[in-house]
Every structure is written in structure tokens, then in C-alpha cells.
A and B are shown apart, each in its own frame.
Chain A
Amino acid sequence: MNLISLSPPGRGSRSQVGMTLAEVVVALAVAVMMVAGLLGGYTYSTVSGEKARLSLAANTRALERLEDTHAAIWNVSGWPVVDQLVATNFPPKLVVIHLAAQGPGITYGTNYTTISQVSLSPQLRRVRVDCVWGFQSGKFSSLSTNTVETLRGPD
């Protein structure tokens, strides 16, 4: 009779017939890491979505300040010259960034407006609004800035 043995190669001695405790622990650790990775991925995705949402709101608030500067009169063709488009008229302003008031609570930001002369002939100014806001997720917090910028000539 021909016997064919299908014993797995490379096994240890007779005293190592099952899985050792170390093997079980390693297997469990791998499984836990896999599940933790999945959960971490979901959590990261949620936090990213939240941050994107707040970024959109911050951008809207920055645009709001830019629109304010559009409404400032800058008339150099009449006399006296009217020039409301100066930085002192647009000091830093605290704004509410949040779209949602649930979770970490209200998120605030600050609009910083910078007005600089680009050219004198023709007259041209650059208006830049930086909306700086804080994002907090658990113990992790960071500052983000949304910037909008435009060029403007006299009325």
C-alpha cells in the first residue's frame, strides 16, 4: 500500500501541536489594529467633512468682508476726494463661522482686512481678507485661514 502523507511542512516538535499563546495574541492584535484602522478612517472622514464645512462658512464670511469693501466709496474724480477704502475703516472683526451649533459648539473666526496700493496710475488697490478660524477636534486643534482677494479701482 502506498501512503501519501499530507502533513504540513515546517511544523515544530510534537510539543507544538496547536497555536501558541503568542500566535493567538499576535492574531488578535492584528485584528484589533485592522478594526482600529477602519474606525480611524471613518472618524478621519467625518472630521474632514466637518472641517470642509467650516471652511466653506469661513470663506463666506471672508467674502462678506470683501463685499463691505466694495461698498466703500473711493471717488477721486470729484472734489473733495472721497476715500473710504482705507484699512482703518475695516479693523479686525470677530465673526461666527459655524454653520452648525451642535458638537464642539460655536466656531469663531476673525476677519483681517489688508488694503494696499498696487499702482498710482491708473489707481488700483488690492483688497485682501484673511478669515482666521480655529478648528478643534477632540484634543487636536489647529488654525486655518481662508483668504479672498480682489483688485479695485476708484468709483
Chain B
Amino acid sequence: MKPSIRFHAWSRRSGELAFTLTELMVSAAILIFVVGGIVTANLFGMRMFQVEQTKLSVSDQARKIVGVLMDEIHSCETFQVGAFTNGNFTGLSPGTPQLGPALIIYPTTNATNFVMYFVDTSDQTFRRATSMPGSTRTLAHSVTNATDLFRAQDYLGNLLTNMQDNTVLHFKLEFFQTARFGVPPDYYKLETSTTRH
């Protein structure tokens, strides 16, 4: 004779061989609570990740801009603050406050070799270009301070009207990050100074 197997469900009495409706409902409710909590936590985490990703990528971008700009100023032959209109850089005249939206850096004494930073007022982007054609790159969008990005000052922070050997270049970039991926719009400001060595 084959042995038969009898399952005693959790030591129940003979009249209670299965879960009751109440037990099932309670179990289901607990399961829903737990799963709901985990799903909520994950959604919250994804949201936080998106917020942080946006902010950290902006920080990373800012660090790169500052790093490159400082290196270029440290090693340059000379630089000049000016304006950028119709695709051309115009330096500020001596005797006028050296405050403007564009900067040209000459790494050597060769004036045909340069690096230029400027705000394109047509689309409010902050760009970097070199003397090589087609080298223009957009560094930041939605720039809000299109008139006073670059400022030549002395070591005390006073605005200069003429460039000096020990001019400090003060750089201030304010830009707006539009809403994306559900992350609300945000406003960013990047400010530092650098000087030739």
C-alpha cells in the first residue's frame, strides 16, 4: 500500500485546514503595505537621484569651466575684457571700466592664436571658441548676467580702467537650469578669480 501524506496546516484543528478569509485579508493587507512602502521608497529614491544628477552634472560642468579658464589665464601671455557683437570681439578701450561679457586670451605673442569666452546674446548661451574655425562650444545655457561676466580688478577687488601686469580676472557666471525630468528649475551662480603667473 502506498503511504498517504497528510498536511497539517500549521497545527490547525481538523475543522481549520486552510486560512480563513480574515487571515488572508490581513496577510494581503500587510503584503500591500510592505510592497507599497518599498515601491514608494524606490520612487522617492529615483526622484532624489534625478534631482542630484541634475545638480551634480551642473557642478561638474562648472568645475570644468573654472579649471580650464584658470589654466588658460595662468599660462597666457595676455588677456583682454570686451564685448562680442556680430561674431567679432571688441576690446574695451583703455580708461573705461574693464567689465564686460567677453574675454579673449592670447596664449602667446601671436595675436592670431587666441581663446575666446563670450555670451551669445541671441540664445543666452555661454560659449568658448578658439582661433580654429568651427571650434565653438557651448558651456552653459540660459545665462542671466550677460553684461558683467568678466571683470578686471586689482588685488583689493577694485574695478580697473586699465589693464595691469598683475590684473586679477574676476569671473561670474549666473545661469538658469530649466525644469527637466520633473526636477524643478534652478538658478546657479559660479564665481571665482584668477590671475596670470
Measured CB to CB, the residues of A under 8 A from B are 1-8, 11-12, 14, 17-19, 24, 27-28, 31-32, 34-35, 38-39, 41-43, 45-46, 49-50, 52-53, 56-57, 60-61, 63-65, 67-73, 84, 89, 95-96, 98-102
Please tell me the size bucket of the interface on B. Answer: 35 or more
Q: Do residues A42 and B13 form an inter-chain contact, with CB atoms below 8 A?
A: no
Out of A12, A70, A84, name the residue touching B197 (CB < 8 Å): A70
For B157, list chain A residues within 8 Å (CB).
68
Give 26 A-B contacts (CB < 8 Å), ordered by A residue.
A4-B3, A4-B5, A6-B5, A6-B6, A6-B8, A11-B11, A31-B37, A35-B34, A39-B45, A46-B48, A50-B52, A53-B55, A60-B190, A64-B170, A67-B193, A67-B194, A69-B155, A70-B155, A71-B154, A71-B167, A84-B155, A89-B156, A96-B191, A100-B186, A102-B184, A102-B186
Q: Do residues B52 and A28 form an inter-chain contact, with CB atoms below 8 A?
A: no
**Contacts between chains A and B (CB distance < 8 A), count:** 154
- Which chain A residue has the least Cβ–Cβ distance from B45? A42
How far is B55's CA from A102's CA once the two chains are assembled, in angstroms? 11
For B11, list chain A residues within 8 Å (CB).
7-8, 11-12, 14, 17
